[in-house]
Amino acid sequence: MGNTRGFGVDIGGSGIKGGLVDLEAGALDGERLRIPTPQPSTPDAVAEVVAEIVEKFGWEGPLGVTLPCVVKHGVASTAANVDKGWIGTDAAALFAHRLGRPVEDVVVLNDADAAGIAEMRFGAGKGRDGLVVLLTFGTGIGSALFLDGRLVPNTEFGHLEVDGHDAETRAAASVKEDKGLTWAEWTPRVSRYLGVLENLIWPDLVIAGGGVSKKAEKWLPLLDVRTEVVAAALKNDAGIVGAAVAAARGPRP
């Protein structure tokens, strides 16, 4: 029998959020706790906050933690919107050490991959085979690719080159905010980005996640793309839920 409760922590550029997760319902089990991300967001400073959150809930089982980084076997390899000190850091070992746990208890994965795991199991991707890509539009653009429900980790499609630019610097939700763009002004940027992505991977479904998915009715109808695009269903909690699911499955080989 597996545990029906898990624990996830989602590390973002502005906030670190964590909570207990009901692994059968695919939802938070109670309130989540959010603490602003320390600046600079160095590994040690972030590990302190992760420990504070885990200890606040008194959680002692396996836990999943997301990072906005490529993460292979617990080690962060990039750091696009977070302190560069993460590059080369064994994040799983760092969190386990700070929490006084065996490293096997801590699964660290890319934030968009975690959100995708949750959406595929409980949300907009449930029951969808073929090639599905979840994109999170936030400070940057995160991506999670699934073939027949199985994750292809660390895809980093937010960094595709579009018209000579790193895609996320043109089409992330933060660009809309920073430049004061209307939905009608921002959406063509997303269409252009999705057009490039479509021509490369020909997905069957795109799931649009991140904060802007809460306002999906304002911009999804304005998109001019070939592929079916639907809004993510789990909104802000997808990262926490997906991290907890990944931890309950155990570390990747």
Interface ranges with ligand BGC (CB under 6 A): 68-70, 78, 80-81, 110-112, 136, 138, 140, 142, 156, 158, 168
How far apart are CB 159 and ligand BGC at their closest, in Å? Answer: 6
Query: Vertex 81, ends 46 and 180: CA angle to 5°?
Result: 125
How far apart are CB 170 and ligand BGC at their closest, in Å? Answer: 13
3-state class (DSSP) for residue 142: strand
Residue with tokens 């309950």: 248
97: which 2 tokens?
């050490």
**CB burial readout 137-157, b (16+ within 10 A) else e:** bbbbbbbbbbeeeebebbbbb
Which CB sits closer to ligand BGC, 26 or 142?
Answer: 142
How far apart are CB 112 and ligand BGC at their closest, in Å? Answer: 4
Which CB sits closer to ligand BGC, 20 or 144?
Answer: 144
Q: How deeply is 250 buried, as exposed, middle or buried, from its count of CB atoms within 10 A (0-12, 13-18, 19+)?
A: exposed
Which CB sits closer to ligand BGC, 139 or 187?
Answer: 139
How far apart are CB 58 and ligand BGC at their closest, in Å? Answer: 29
Tell me phi and psi for residue 233, to 5 degrees. -100, -30
Report in angstroms the alpha-carbon separations of 197 from 105, 156, 201, 230. 36, 11, 6, 16
Which CB sits closer to ligand BGC, 78 or 191?
Answer: 78
Which CB sits closer to ligand BGC, 110 or 213?
Answer: 110
Do residues 122 and 26 lie in contact, with contact meaning Cβ atoms separated by under 8 Å?
yes
How far apart are CB 67 and ligand BGC at their closest, in Å? Answer: 8
How far apart are CB 154 and ligand BGC at their closest, in Å? Answer: 8
Which CB sits closer to ligand BGC, 8 or 59?
Answer: 8
